[in-house]
Structure 1
């Protein structure tokens, strides 16, 4: 059976089983899961939080307590990219404590197993289906399905406040907002909305910082890094690269002449179709521009930032991320060096003033923890503990 078909079957069977077991109440403790042998070795809760009563917007979440010290460990609100990639993707493919037994799969209900290199080893995590229309999150009105970066971020603030009202034992824990890919936009916007909400009064959220991986940030930096990245990785020839440089003059996003268009077309060879774990049909509008002002405002206001990049990602190449981080013109505190995990080089890092850390993850793709879980857990653990990578 093709890999894409197997994964699609996994999702259908798992979702059907878990949704039958959970119902739609707000806050269900889950002790058993279909396909998992015995009780879960960690605390899992799922449920809905209403974030817009007028439009009937209900956001679905998975919450997993830290396996270390839940009463004092940070609380991470994790939002997957897309927009439209389910929190389930983050839970079982990226940073959560569950994995599918892909290699042992034959037919029927898939087997899932405990994965020890989860970020829940050092933090409490809320995996949120966002924006509305993603995963199990829904609206009771048609109007409620229409959202945007800013509106969705405000709904995240409402979600957090309501969730913490129901879970007051976590109200004093440090809060971090995290995500990857398109969430490079969602995360900083949400963090700044929390800052504004705290300033306006009401329940105070103990925001300490944010983290983004292979993050969409600024079209100029992200898009124009792809051709140099392809050349550096040996995926296009020297002749193609030189021709692109000469005819496009460094602008690979909006070709200004026919020769540039021709060269860029020759560089793009397309790809075959594959299984998708994201709903790109969500009715979300991109209503913010570059994230550079957001990063500047947040970090200069005292909030910590971890920006990391799998160095084998062509979608959001680390070259672009490194360039926009450098463009903030912060002083270098700890210059470019290797960082290690398990005695091996795990990537390279540079720390800046204003508590900004940039790191590459060696050999990782677009969702770095999916490819290098041990290394990314080491990175997170050190960063949360205010230790150098």
Structure 2
């Protein structure tokens, strides 16, 4: 009898020990929330060649249109510091047709950089996930790993569908990640995301007006942003001339020949653009006119000039990116086509019939609808009280600072804080002016991808934006 009691006691102790061990092992790390089943399926354990990190990562697909079988790919890198207290920041790259994984995540604001051999990753100490939880979205379907089961979708997409699908993505993603439902949300991006971001912000505002479950959108920030056909193009030609990239003769011919208000350029105007790029620019990287281009082994430039199509001119995708290493885009194309990388990211699960590319030429060539101007959307969103920041790297000749200044001037905003230099580490990081409803800032010496060229300064810019504080005056 005593033996039976002893056996029962030992069994109970063993069961308690097993249960304690199991629950301890399953407990989330400190500062992290309980993870649901759907979230858990998207968890990234580790990427090939990834250094150890203290933050959680998730990636996968959200179907945004079941009928067409359109699914958008995302990659979430949470903050290593108290992620539950941090906002959600959604990053979009432009093109149209370019990947947020290739650019935003891998060479701008994400926590990792790809090494020269594409064999692994190293840490970016100026990653924006120091300040927020970052969600990189590949949109629309056809960009990066995002796909559609209707191949016709790749030939007739545009601004409207991109905004609609991206809104559906956020709604459905938040159902999968309920801990983000009431979190502050900010939208960010660059280049043609100068269309995507304000259009998505407006779509969210309209959705919130008719829905009980609202998205807690607080504001957006865009860099070197395509904004208005007419002013972008006038500003770009002016930049080329003022930075001695083109002759007086070509400048006057462009101004007098091209009707920048038209959606489609005349053959004469296109010939002038081609002449300027091929004969007068020389072998430069248009995305940072003072950086060395990525040269091929035969010494020729990696950049090529394609047919111009406003407002995407010059084509944002047909070049090798420049930066501290001007060939970074090549590393991404090797790394993200690796089967082990795709498996770790839960990507390409349906066997997409084409290689992953940083930008989709097919999408770009067949862009179906584009807003001539985003300025009316700015007026609507300023009136709605969103926090809006626009920034410009000042050595970009593709969507240059002059283009942005000409466009923003049309808003006729009241100046709150006049133009002043802002500082990082006792150096001028750029210049800024604060208006009623919008802050404009330049980043000194930065190209089209501001965080690639000026990571420390761009992190300060992001920090000030999130806090709603003016950039530091000293």
Q: In the alignment, is the contact (CA less than 8 A) between 2:229 and 2:261 conserved in 1?
A: no
1:292 aligned partner: 375
Deviation at 1:53, TM superposition (A): 1.2
Partner SS for 2:59: strand
Larger radius of gyration: 2
Q: 1:228-284, CA deviations, whole angstroms, 9 ceiling, x for partnerless residues?
A: 11122222345654x4487459969888897x8886554332664344621121254
More strand by percentage: 1
What is the rounded CA distance, in whole Å, between the counterparts of 1:175 and 1:304 in structure 2? 11
Superposition pairs of residues 32-111 of structure 1, within 5 angstroms? 32-37=46-51, 39-89=52-102, 90-102=104-116, 105=117, 109-111=118-120
What is the rounded CA distance, in whole Å, between the counterparts of 1:130 and 1:61 in structure 2? 9
TM, length-normalised to structure 2: 0.70
What is the rounded CA distance, in whole Å, between the counterparts of 1:279 and 1:257 in structure 2? 25
The 1:143–1:230 alpha-carbon spacing in structure 2 relative to 1, beyond 3 Å, is closer
Q: In the alignment, is the contact (CA less than 8 A) between 1:58 and 1:137 conserved in 2?
A: yes
1:30 aligned partner: 44
What is the rounded CA distance, in whole Å, between the counterparts of 2:135 and 2:211 in structure 1? 24
What is the rounded CA distance, in whole Å, between the counterparts of 2:150 and 2:249 in structure 1? 55
Moved more, 119-128 or 278-287: 278-287
The 1:27–1:375 alpha-carbon spacing in structure 2 relative to 1, beyond 3 Å, is farther
Q: In the alignment, is the contact (CA less than 8 A) between 1:26 and 1:47 conserved in 2?
A: no
TM, length-normalised to structure 1: 0.84
Count of residues in Structure 1 that have an aligned counterpart in Structure 2: 357
Superposition pairs of residues 179-328 of structure 1, within 5 angstroms? 179-238=189-248, 240-241=250-251, 243-244=252-253, 247-248=256-257, 266-269=275-278, 272-273=303-304, 274-275=319-320, 277-282=358-363, 284-328=367-411
Query: Are 1:125 and 2:139 an aligned pair?
Result: no
What is the rounded CA distance, in whole Å, between the counterparts of 2:266 and 2:368 in structure 1? 27
The 1:50–1:257 alpha-carbon spacing in structure 2 relative to 1, beyond 3 Å, is closer
The 1:25–1:55 alpha-carbon spacing in structure 2 relative to 1, beyond 3 Å, is farther
The 1:363–1:218 alpha-carbon spacing in structure 2 relative to 1, beyond 3 Å, is same
What is the rounded CA distance, in whole Å, between the counterparts of 2:147 and 2:98 in structure 1? 14
Deviation at 1:387, TM superposition (A): 0.9
What is the rounded CA distance, in whole Å, between the counterparts of 2:231 and 2:257 in structure 1? 15
What is the rounded CA distance, in whole Å, between the counterparts of 2:255 and 2:383 in structure 1? 38
Partner SS for 1:29: coil
The 1:351–1:53 alpha-carbon spacing in structure 2 relative to 1, beyond 3 Å, is same
Deviation at 1:147, TM superposition (A): 2.7
What is the rounded CA distance, in whole Å, between the counterparts of 1:227 and 1:148 in structure 2? 26
2:451 aligned partner: 369
The 1:284–1:372 alpha-carbon spacing in structure 2 relative to 1, beyond 3 Å, is same
Query: Are 1:158 and 2:164 an aligned pair?
Result: no
The 1:122–1:255 alpha-carbon spacing in structure 2 relative to 1, beyond 3 Å, is closer
Q: 1:1-36, CA deviations, whole angstroms, 9 ceiling, x for partnerless residues?
A: xxxxxxxxxxxxxxxxxxxxxxx9984211321122
What is the rounded CA distance, in whole Å, between the counterparts of 1:210 and 1:140 in structure 2? 31
Deviation at 1:143, TM superposition (A): 4.7
Moved more, 61-70 or 311-320: 61-70
Q: In the alignment, is the contact (CA less than 8 A) between 2:39 and 2:176 conserved in 1?
A: no
1:167 aligned partner: 177
2:463 pairs, out of 357, 381, 384, with 381
Deviation at 1:40, TM superposition (A): 3.2
Moved more, 86-95 or 376-385: 86-95
Partner SS for 1:198: helix
Deviation at 1:140, TM superposition (A): 2.3
Q: Cα RMSD (Å) of the superposition?
A: 2.6
